[in-house]
Structure 1
Amino acid sequence: MTQNDDMRPLTAEGFAPVSGDSAEALKPSGFQPLDPGKRPERPPIWPKIILATVGLIVTTLLFFLLTARSLEVQVDAIGSATIDIDGISVPLGKRYLIRPGRYLITVQVPGYRDWQQETLVTDADSQQLLVTPAILPGRVTLLSEPAGASIAIAGQVIGTTPLQALNLEAGPTSLQITLPRYQAQQELLEVTGRGVEQTLSIALEPDWANITALAIPKDATVWIDDEPRANSGEVIEVLSGEHRLSLRAPGYIDATRDLKVVAGVNQTLESVTLVPAAGVLDLQSNPSAANVTIDGEFMGLTPLTVELAPGREHRVQVNKVGYSRKSFSLSLEKGATASRVTTLKPKLGNVAFELAPGNAELFINGRSRGRGNQALDLAAVEQRVEVKLEGYASQRLRVTPRQGLEQVVVVTLLTEAEARKAALTPEITSALGQTLVLIDPLAEPLNSFSMGASRREPGRRSNEVLHNVTLERAFYLATTETTNAQFRMFLESHDSGQIEGNSLNREQQPVVKISWQQAARFCNWLSIKEGLPPFYRDTQGIIDGYNPSSTGYRLPSEAEWSFAGRIEGESYRKFAWGDDFPPSQPVVNVADNTSALVTGRILNGYADGYIVSAPVGSFPKNHRGLFDMGGNVAEWVHDVYVIPSANAKSATDPMGALKGDNYTVRGASWALSRLAELRLTFRDYGASGRDDLGFRIARYAE
């Protein structure tokens, strides 16, 4: 086409004129005007809706693709996983296109428990989620040969074989298999899990060996651990381990040996020849305790069981002092037993009993033989004699009559009061070896005396009020103060300590640093140890009273301590050593020249050789045989501390109040040196222990 062609002018009809053939081909059509009653049709709207919807979808898809992130879900499991994401996501292999946000993701794999978790998808372009679902248990069948074995997992028994289709968690599982008479086994089973069925068969090993024991005679029986198992020569199944094997046959001595059995290792033991057993003689006599000799050899006293060599005759003799001898012969077969009862005939001796008072009753070996004087023929053996009469103390003695010899026994009964007095021994010894001497005020010239000191006496203190007391009850008083060794028998952990490097804790030093309560409890403990009634009343470890009628151990009363230390005949001692002050010889342990650095005060010019306490009994005893009454350590006494009244009536055997806050202390110590403190009337008080305060024990004689 040329430019001229393009520029042809349009005609009035709207067409460009053409020339030639073209003009002939194009003819104008007739014009038909529209019907004025009809309107033109409007194009349909649905294509526009479709177009808009497609546009929106494309726009949304483009927005999703532009804002989505890549999430890779890796499943650590065997098998095909099904992954479900609760939200819009586009799977692309193992990855998903997904917009940021929180999504509930569920993973399912055959053989595993469903995994489900809410997961946060962040703005990161590429993200990864590792899923490890839990493996389902495996189904395991356990068999054993033989059956009936006990199966335990982690020490917990789960049953006995056969065990079918057990649900066991996947992984290594340790099994403990036990069955009596079989060796215990341990198996490690790798459980596949995921519901996979597995079967484990276990062959148990026997835990015994075959043992054959041989003996002569052949009818011997074999005993294992004191249980009969078989006859000699027979095979015995014996469990592994150490056992006691015995071969036994009637009439023979058992042969015993230790047997060590190893499972599966059979043994045939060397033949054993049993030794014939001795015969057994059971011998009794009337009376008993008779001497027995067999074939000239002393065997013991009846009743007696003795073994005799079998197959030969034995000579048996039975004799007892005061009885005629009996003899007999006896032969026993091997393993046989025999019993013999021999009655001995007594030898008689004449005994005349002269009794005073004349109506006293005579008992021989517990049997009454009448009242008054008696002449009796008695067996020439020791006889138990007792003479009784109401109102009098019984007397017991032993008499041995002699055949052909007449004897006279004179018995004079004492009244109960006379007997009680006569029974008091001058001294007794405690279970701990402490010596206690008897002090009987009624047997002395002065038993009513004055305690305290005159106001005119140098060194006298205000608590030493003069007052009168009377002592009537006899009592025992320890010659020495209680030592550390003796107190530690009661309280092993006690430590008397030391002062300035000087020990107070040696075995024979007097115990110190104890309270009055501890001293009283020690007395109760010693009473119980000797079977005596406790003197003090103990309420849950607290001494809160006493029983004055008890003869158990106690602390001496203040009056008893004063009487024992001060009263000599009809006179009074001022100091433990006498009346001179200061003492010229080392007669008592007080604060001497060597004690200055410890006590700070001393008795000038006096040296006793001890800086602190001395071993008890180191200085001369007083007129009653008592040591350290005026020194070494001060001493707790029984009485609650009070200041006596000068106008009070004379008290008899005073013991003071049942309980109180403070208790009386008497006597000087290694830490004291002044005139007032060394006098025997010096009084102190307290409740707690001190390093110069101990005690000595006492008890009523009746």
Structure 2
Amino acid sequence: MNYMRNVGIRSLALIVMVLVVASSCKKKDPTSLKPGKTSSKTGLDYNGEDGEGFVVKQYKALPAGPDLVFIEGGRFTMGSLEEDVMGTRDNLERTVSIQSFYMDETEVANVHYLEYLNFIQRDSSEEFYRRALPDTTVWYNDLSFNDSYVTMYLRHPGFRLYPAVGVSWAQATDYCTWRSNAVNQSMFAKGTAGGATNKKKMLSFGKKKDAAQAEVASASAPTNLSVESGYVLPPYRLPTEAEWEYAAKGMIGTQYADENQANSRIYPWDGSTLRQPRGKKQGNMLANFKRGKGDYAGIAGRANDGAIMTQELRGYPANDYGLYDMAGNVNEWVQDVYRPLSYMDFNDLNSFRRDGYQDEAKNYDSKNNNSLITNEVRVYKGGSWADVAYWMSPGTRRFMEQDSSSAMVGFRCAMIATGSSGMAR
């Protein structure tokens, strides 16, 4: 009896092993990361030994770039949920969808911008270096004694991780171009793409006479690797207004069943208040902003705003995407050209206003100073240490000349999520 039982167990085990082997031999469907050795459409071999095959190399997906957070795409209601106290009616509600993307966890800080200045000072023309310098005089005010910030804020070690300000939209865009080159070089040198390379060559803009030439130079792959290799990260850039607003609202934290959402959000957190609703820090402000006329933080000993001017990065809780300071601290540049009618002329997928298409600048009388709108004015969002709470709502928007700067405006970078369908990864 025992003998027969043992034979039966062995037979069953053998059958299971055969089934496992058979299932493992089943042909696997090709994927973007593992397309297989032959074309599923022609049957021709990839990477043929005779050199005539189409080159489709296997590769391992690159990690996200430094400081980037994955933002899962989806549908959301874009637009201002606050009462339109300014009467601009320039961001009325509409439904749009955003493809998944990456966004910086924090704003670009002084130490990060000084790193950029260091490299271009060594490897670029003096003219380009001077154009890249932030305008530190943005702190100066004839009726305020902010003189120390003019000389100290950018370069003093005590302000290293405070958000960089006095940076124009054009300067921020140049930083993104340089950062793309620098990160790709860094990943290559550390072995992500195999081997080391010439650091000075990779990080340099070259002896270029102007920003346009610098951009062309740094746009080339830093390692002789093509985009097809899969070992070159997509370029860093400023987020679009739709991306920024979507990421700031962080609606991923409001779901409770299927595609239903428990509530919308006025700010990057739940509720209509600006304070911690519970816990040990109950009552503390969730961002730094101007609380009222002449009140930038509260009273000494109970200044629960935490900062009269800017605050160090990560000084307040992150939103549901893990992004810090999407309200308060400093406003942030986005890519879009400003138009008051952007909510009317828009694509409901990855909305973006790149120029005056369907709403040309000639419709606005800027020549006679009856309008400030041109194709050189860019949107900024988020509210700052010097703004009242109204501007911290992600749906509010303002604009400024792309070559202008302010002590209340900084920036962070974004990047496309390659290989993502826009849903969870």
TM range (shorter): 0.5 to 0.7
CA gap 1:566/1:485 in 2 versus in 1, 3 angstroms:
same
CA gap 1:360/1:592 in 2 versus in 1, 3 angstroms:
closer
Partner residue of 1:390? 39
Residue 488 (1) aligns with residue 114 (2): yes
Counterpart residue identity of residue 69, structure 2: V
Match of 2:93 among 466, 469, 480: 466
- Deviation per residue, 1:158-217 (Å, 9 max, x gap): xxxxxxxxxxxxxxxxxxxxxxxxxxxxxxxxxxxxxxxxxxxxxxxxxxxxxxxxxxxx
- Distance in 2, matches of 1:602 and 1:618, equals 16
- Distance in 2, matches of 1:614 and 1:656, equals 31
Partner residue of 1:220? none
CA gap 1:662/1:356 in 2 versus in 1, 3 angstroms:
farther
Whether the 8 Å CA contact 1:576–1:622 is kept in 2: the answer is yes
Match of 2:78 among 451, 456, 459: 451
- Distance in 1, matches of 2:40 and 2:348, equals 31
The TM-score with structure 2 as length reference comes to: 0.56
Q: Secondary structure at the match of 2:399?
A: strand
- Distance in 1, matches of 2:326 and 2:28, equals 51
CA gap 1:391/1:522 in 2 versus in 1, 3 angstroms:
farther
Partner residue of 2:394? 680
- Distance in 1, matches of 2:22 and 2:174, equals 50
- Distance in 2, matches of 1:655 and 1:551, equals 19
CA gap 1:455/1:477 in 2 versus in 1, 3 angstroms:
closer
Q: Secondary structure at the match of 1:671?
A: coil
Partner residue of 1:511? 164
- Distance in 2, matches of 1:642 and 1:359, equals 50
In the TM superposition, residue 436 of structure 1 has moved relative to its aligned partner by 0.8
- Distance in 1, matches of 2:321 and 2:29, equals 40
In the TM superposition, residue 451 of structure 1 has moved relative to its aligned partner by 1.5
Whether the 8 Å CA contact 2:316–2:324 is kept in 1: the answer is yes
- Distance in 2, matches of 1:636 and 1:670, equals 16
Whether the 8 Å CA contact 2:240–2:352 is kept in 1: the answer is yes
User: RMSD across aligned C-alpha pairs, in angstroms?
Assistant: 4.0
Match of 2:327 among 617, 620, 630: 630
Match of 2:349 among 649, 652, 660: 652
Q: Secondary structure at the match of 1:453?
A: coil
- Distance in 2, matches of 1:581 and 1:360, equals 51
Higher relative contact order (CA 8 A, sep 6+): 2
- Deviation per residue, 1:249-276 (Å, 9 max, x gap): xxxxxxxxxxxxxxxxxxxxxxxxxxxx
The TM-score with structure 1 as length reference comes to: 0.35
Counterpart residue identity of residue 518, structure 1: Q
- Distance in 1, matches of 2:264 and 2:409, equals 25
- Distance in 1, matches of 2:334 and 2:29, equals 46
Partner residue of 2:47? none
Partner residue of 1:580? 272
Identical-pair percentage: 25
Matches within 5 A, 1:58-207: none
Between the two proteins, the alignment pairs up a number of residues equal to 278
Partner residue of 2:194? none
- Distance in 2, matches of 1:390 and 1:657, equals 39
Whether the 8 Å CA contact 1:496–1:504 is kept in 2: the answer is no
- Distance in 1, matches of 2:153 and 2:40, equals 53
Match of 1:552 among 228, 232, 235: 235
Counterpart residue identity of residue 319, structure 2: N
Match of 1:476 among 95, 102, 107: 102
Whether the 8 Å CA contact 1:480–1:617 is kept in 2: the answer is yes
- Deviation per residue, 1:352-410 (Å, 9 max, x gap): 9985553899xxxxxxxxxxxxxxxxxxxxxxx99634359xxxxxxxxxxxxxxxxxx
- Distance in 2, matches of 1:525 and 1:658, equals 24
Counterpart residue identity of residue 699, structure 1: M
Higher strand share: 1
Counterpart residue identity of residue 92, structure 2: V
In the TM superposition, residue 556 of structure 1 has moved relative to its aligned partner by 0.7
Partner residue of 1:531? 184
Q: Secondary structure at the match of 2:177?
A: helix
Higher helix share: 2
In the TM superposition, residue 679 of structure 1 has moved relative to its aligned partner by 1.7
Whether the 8 Å CA contact 1:592–1:611 is kept in 2: the answer is no
Whether the 8 Å CA contact 1:476–1:700 is kept in 2: the answer is yes
Structure 2: unaligned runs, 5 residues or longer: 1-20, 42-55, 122-132, 141-145, 186-210, 220-226, 228-232, 253-260, 276-282, 357-374, 419-425
Structure 1: unaligned runs, 5 residues or longer: 1-351, 362-384, 393-415, 442-446, 533-537
